[in-house]
Amino acid sequence: MAELKYMSGFGNEFVSEDPRCPGALPEGQNNPQVCPYGLYAEQLSGSAFTCPRPTNKRSWLYRILPSVCHKSFECIHEGQVTHDWDEVEPDPNQLRWKPFEIPKASQRKLDFVSGLHTLCGAGEPRSRNGIAVHIFLCNTSMINRCFYSSDGDFLIVPQQGKLLITTEFGKLLVEPSEICVIQQGMRFSVEVFGETRGYILEVYGVHFELPDLGPIGANGLANPRDFLVPVAWYEDRQVPGGYTVISKYQGKLFAAHQDFSPFNVVAWHGNYTPYKYNLDNFMVINSVAFDHVDPSIFTVLTAKSTRPGVALADFVIFPPRWGVANHTFRPPYYHRNCMSEFMGLIKGHYEAKEKGFQPGGGSLHSMMTPHGPDAECFEKASKAKLEPERVADGTMAFMFESSFSLAVTRWGLKTSNCLDKSYYKCWEPLKSHFNQSSK
């Protein structure tokens, strides 16, 4: 596979045309009477026309045929996608999942769409306010099929296996320890190279942004230059047997057929694009004296709510770093939170729970449900000699944190058969060290 090319920047105004068709972008206007090469002009709007300029998102696509050329959409039943948050009773317990199992291709072929499973979520795609957490488990590539979400943006976190994602804007190769964001309405197809697994955070109604840096200043955390956007690539391919376009619409899947590839965009310009980011580029900030900075300091991307300082969802990572805090219990503190915390592990061992929390699994600590280091971690860290030390080398854990109270689906609690029902036992050995006569 030839090395892919990208443009760098976050939220920039980009321009790109396939080098096979130089001059495909119209000069000086968006919608000429006749486009170069006989192309069709099509605008993809990611925001209302009248949004303020800093939040106004749109791109112009110049394509061989417009995307309106398809048969009627019909409801299909694939995967385990849902937004029915009332299908099982709420469960406020600490929840942990063993690695989600990927079926063997010899037993059952699953591509990215048929392998989508909704784990938890809240809110409503129709009212454009909410989130969903999905798990994807696949073993075969999408052939003459593409997908898009009418409901929201997909933040995709591959955990096992790389993804070659073809979009209307070009191609992205996304490997474990990288993420990509495919924004609302963007059509894409996923090619895999074996058994593949990962996590998805979907947000309804808003788009992901870089967090404000406040007193940190102009630089730090995820730097804008490290985000990569694909360059234009097209195929003029007829599909006599039918090409299937799958839409996630109001929490359900619908399919329409057409007789050509949707990846027929010869040129495009705009600021509404897919993008990827390598988590190893995150500039980590940490305490250098005592105590913890809160984990919000590890935020890569945020999806803001209408309340200042409160996120619909944050994407947070716990990357390799130095731990140097003096007189401090260095692992994560015990916590009860007004937010919901879903955690996943891409590789390695999470510092607060080195056993039980495995790559490809997950945990959910719901709103105001207590959580924190297990007994073994507490005893070890309480007695450790405090010297500068590397933390989380060879590890990449992450968190989807949300201001919504998340409901777990039937698949998450029952059908997946991955729920670790003994999770609570990791805290049972904790014992009282209280001694009134000694400080």
Q: How far, in Å, CA of 192 to CA of 246, rounded? A: 18
Q: How far, in Å, CA of 292 to CA of 303, rounded? A: 24
Residue 341 in marked binding region:
yes
State how beta strands 238-249 and 145-149 pair: parallel
Closest CA to 149 of 60, 65, 48, 46: 46
Please name every residue paired with 258 in a beta bridge, in sequence order, or none if there are none.
243
Closest CA to 176 of 394, 406, 400: 394
Distance of CA 8 to the CA centre of its chain: 19
Q: 351, 315 in Cβ contact below 8 A? A: no
Q: 167, 230 in Cβ contact below 8 A? A: yes
Residue 433: in which H helix or E strand, if any? none
Q: How far, in Å, CA of 416 to CA of 411, rounded? A: 5
Q: 35, 61 in Cβ contact below 8 A? A: no
Report how far apart, in Å, the C-alpha atoms of 137 and of each of 134, 175, 275 are.
Answer: 10, 15, 22
Catalytic residue among 83, 207, 257, 292: 292
Burial class (CB in 10 A: 0-12, 13-18, 19+), 192: buried
Residue 365 in marked binding region:
no
- Give 113-128 as a DSSP string: TTTEEEEEEEEETTTT
Closest CA to 356 of 416, 414, 427: 427
Residue 257 in marked binding region:
no
Report how far apart, in Å, the C-alpha atoms of 14 and of each of 5, 23, 25, 30, 268 are.
Answer: 14, 15, 12, 14, 8
Residue 27 in marked binding region:
no
Active site residue 327: no
Closest CA to 361 of 425, 418, 426: 418
Tokens representing 253 are 């899947």
**Residues of each annotated binding site for homogentisate:** 350, 371
**Residues of each annotated binding site for Fe cation:** 335, 341, 371
Residues identified as active-site: 292
